[in-house]
């Protein structure tokens, strides 16, 4: 099959859909046509704050014998994809043409054709034929897929509930299992290469795929190809023997992103690859209300050593089913990737769902911030958004997130005020009806959510208030009673108080096995204060093991226990490649109050 190809084409932005960008601060995907990330806009310097994920496509289109080329669908690393109409039948197909500006493009495209032929539908697009243009540039003719990619769904504003995340993931795993069973490793699994249909999923773009039976014969350069955010540590290291567990790592990244709204690592390619190799991913529980069994599954997928990951896709699929069915997971299946814009707080209960009443801590507040940002902050603080009717919101804290929901709500309210989510917040305790929907997600119902007298007004003082029932649960809390409301006005969170002590105490619960180290550090600090002698402590661990978090908790505890002590928190900046560490020199300069330049006597007088 031959045809002619037009002269060297010019290039312009893709026309097949909105290009995607990723916020450099929070890592979320947003359309390039938007004004930026909902949480971090307006962006003063968008060229620095956004990482462009879009590509360009040729302005002119080639012709293929027997087909009418309709439009360009997009451009990948090794090929450009066109939509075409088969002249004989009128059927629409997708034609992928190897790029002439990439030396390995033809090799990768022929390998993709072989993979599609051996795997076959419904797990991958159907392969209809192959051919070459007059300049011997190969092309393949495939099934034209009309369903959206997972990446497109991620930026469309669609809300994923966790139950839906797992349902979609099982469809993806079915396709991936078939690919592995036929002896192939994809090596470029990412949302852009997954097409999600109603009852199934197809995996596309096999340009980097390889036969699993091939051992370490591929080059280091080939191993480093891929999309940095979804590459496994062994890919980032340039290992040649990439196997199916590399795809499982990529699945873990996708699961993480669907649940948290961002991948574990993003940014410059070299930095992301280094993080995959050496840095521990941030805990999912700090970004979304994810059940512990589910987080364990994701973290096992993301294990640095592939021997610690699931051996195969079937094992991962079974682990997801077990984690979702675990008792601790059933009450935590909350929305992921943002908040639903339509909250059905007052809809009549369905007979097909369970319902219970529970006493919970509530935060009533008004906010002009975007609803999605409000919900994300509430989730990060361990709560859930029970009611959203902008500008009024209610956050809920039940016993699932702590022994004292009033204390948790109080801490969260101070945080919301401090970070500008709201100017005033009222803490209350009340019974709330909780329905469990068919998909496992909770729905909170209370007439209090619609009573204006429960919300602070613009004329009230700024800060946090305690309703009488909440004040009874927090004895010893000091504040001034608000006339006519019987609310206790606490104002803003003090820098050193019992509240801070509670924060520090609760922080130790997330150290996960570091409590003995923390106790040793605190005892050394106490001894230093008692004996008035200097003390230097060192904590040695691999990168990503939690030293920064341990330091943060230790400092909070020291400040809480010794409010009169002066605690200096000095942190070394991250070094660039080959740069000498200046930390010791800077510490000595600060503590000894040394001059900026060396004195003539070499510093002997100072000593």
Residues acting as catalytic residues = 188
Could you give the angle at the alpha carbon of 314 between the alpha carbons of 282 and 326, nearest 5°? 60
How far is Cα 540 from Cα 11, in angstroms, rounded to an integer?
51
Instruction: List CB contacts of 293: < 8 A, sequence separation 6 or more.
Output: 322, 323, 324, 326, 328, 329
Sequential DSSP letters for 520-544: HHHHHHHHHHHHT----------TT
Could you give the angle at the alpha carbon of 227 between the alpha carbons of 318 and 275, nearest 5°? 80
Report CA 469 to chain centroid distance, whole Å: 37
How far is Cα 434 from Cα 354, in angstroms, rounded to an integer?
8
How far is Cα 344 from Cα 321, in angstroms, rounded to an integer?
28
**Strands 92-98 and 138-143, bridge-based pairing:** antiparallel
Closest CA to 361 of 328, 336, 386, 379: 386
Tokens at 345, concatenated: 């707080």
Sequential DSSP letters for 5-67: -PSSPPEEE--SS--EEEETTT--EEETTSSS-TTTPSPS-HHHHEEE---EEESS----TTE
CA distances, 295 to each of 18, 162, 544 (Å): 32, 12, 17
Identify how many contiguous H helices and E strands the chain contains and give both numbers: 18, 24
Tokens at 603, concatenated: 């510093």
**317, HSE (Cβ side, Cα atoms, 13 Å):** 14
How far is Cα 92 from Cα 584, in angstroms, rounded to an integer?
66
Instruction: List CB contacts of 360: < 8 A, sequence separation 6 or more.
Output: 396, 397, 398, 399, 405, 429, 430, 431, 432
Residue 50 burial (CB count, 10 A)? 19
Sequential DSSP letters for 450-464: G-GGGS--TTSPSEE
DSSP state of 84: E
Q: Is the dihedral of CA 139, 140, 141, 143 positive or negative?
A: negative
Instruction: List CB contacts of 517: < 8 A, sequence separation 6 or more.
Output: 539, 550
Instruction: List CB contacts of 444: < 8 A, sequence separation 6 or more.
Output: 345, 384, 386, 387, 394, 396, 432, 433, 434
């Amino acid at each position: 099959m031959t045809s002619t190809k037009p002269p060297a084409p010019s290039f312009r932005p893709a026309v097949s859909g909105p290009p995607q960008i990723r916020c450099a601060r929070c890592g979320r995907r947003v359309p390039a046509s938007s004004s930026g990330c909902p949480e971090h806009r307006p962006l003063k310097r968008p060229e620095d704050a956004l990482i462009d994920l879009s590509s360009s496509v040729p302005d002119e289109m080639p012709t293929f014998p027997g087909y009418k080329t309709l439009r360009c669908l997009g451009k990948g690393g090794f090929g450009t994809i066109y939509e075409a109409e088969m002249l004989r039948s009128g059927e629409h197909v997708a034609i992928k043409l190897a790029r002439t500006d990439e030396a390995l493009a033809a090799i990768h495209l022929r390998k993709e054709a072989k993979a599609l032929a051996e795997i076959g539908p419904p797990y991958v697009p159907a392969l209809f034929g192959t051919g070459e243009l007059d300049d011997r540039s190969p092309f393949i003719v495939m099934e034209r897929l009309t369903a959206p990619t997972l990446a497109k769904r991620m930026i469309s504003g669609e809300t994923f509930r966790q139950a839906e995340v797992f349902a979609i993931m099982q469809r993806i795993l079915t396709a991936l299992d078939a690919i592995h069973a036929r002896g192939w490793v994809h090596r470029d699994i990412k949302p852009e290469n997954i097409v999600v249909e109603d009852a199934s999923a197809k995996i596309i773009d096999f340009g980097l795929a390889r036969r699993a039976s091939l051992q370490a014969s591929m080059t280091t350069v080939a191993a480093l190809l891929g999309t940095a955010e979804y590459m496994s540590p062994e890919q980032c290291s340039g290992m040649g023997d990439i196997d199916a567990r590399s795809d499982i790592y990529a699945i873990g990244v996708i699961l993480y992103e669907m649940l948290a709204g961002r991948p574990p690592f993003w940014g410059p390619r070299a930095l992301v690859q280094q993080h995959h190799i050496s840095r521990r991913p941030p805990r999912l529980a700090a970004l979304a209300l994810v059940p512990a069994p589910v987080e364990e599954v994701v973290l096992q997928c993301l294990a640095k050593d592939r021997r610690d990951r699931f051996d195969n896709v079937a094992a991962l699929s079974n682990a997801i089913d077990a984690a979702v069915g675990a008792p601790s997971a059933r009450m935590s299946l909350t929305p992921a990737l943002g908040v639903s814009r339509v909250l059905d707080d007052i809809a009549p209960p369905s007979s097909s769902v369970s319902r219970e009443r529970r006493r919970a801590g509530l935060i009533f507040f008004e906010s002009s911030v975007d609803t999605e940002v409000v919900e994300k902050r509430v989730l990060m603080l361990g709560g859930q958004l029970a009611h959203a009717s902008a500008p009024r919101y209610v956050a809920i804290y039940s016993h699932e997130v702590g022994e004292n929901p009033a204390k948790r709500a109080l801490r969260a309210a101070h945080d919301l005020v401090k970070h500008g989510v709201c100017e005033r917040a009222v803490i209350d305790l009340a019974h709330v009806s909780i329905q469990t929907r068919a998909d496992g997600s909770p729905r909170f119902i209370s007439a209090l959510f619609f009573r204006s007298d429960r919300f602070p007004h613009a004329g009230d003082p700024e800060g946090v208030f305690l309703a009488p029932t909440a004040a009874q649960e927090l004895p010893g809390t000091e504040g001034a009673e608000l006339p006519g409301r019987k609310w206790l006005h606490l104002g803003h969170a003090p820098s050193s108080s019992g509240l801070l002590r509670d924060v520090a105490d609760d922080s130790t619960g997330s150290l996960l096995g570091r409590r003995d180290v923390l106790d040793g550090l605190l005892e050394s600090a106490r001894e230093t204060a008692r004996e008035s002698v200097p003390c230097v402590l060192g904590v040695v661990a691999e990168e990503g093991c939690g030293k920064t978090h341990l330091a943060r908790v230790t400092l909070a505890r020291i400040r809480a226990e010794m409010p009169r002590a002066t605690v200096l928190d000095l942190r070394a900046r991250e070094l660039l490649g080959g740069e000498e560490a200046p930390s010791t020199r800077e510490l000595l300069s600060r503590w000894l109050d040394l001059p900026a330049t060396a004195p003539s006597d070499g510093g002997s007088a100072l000593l």
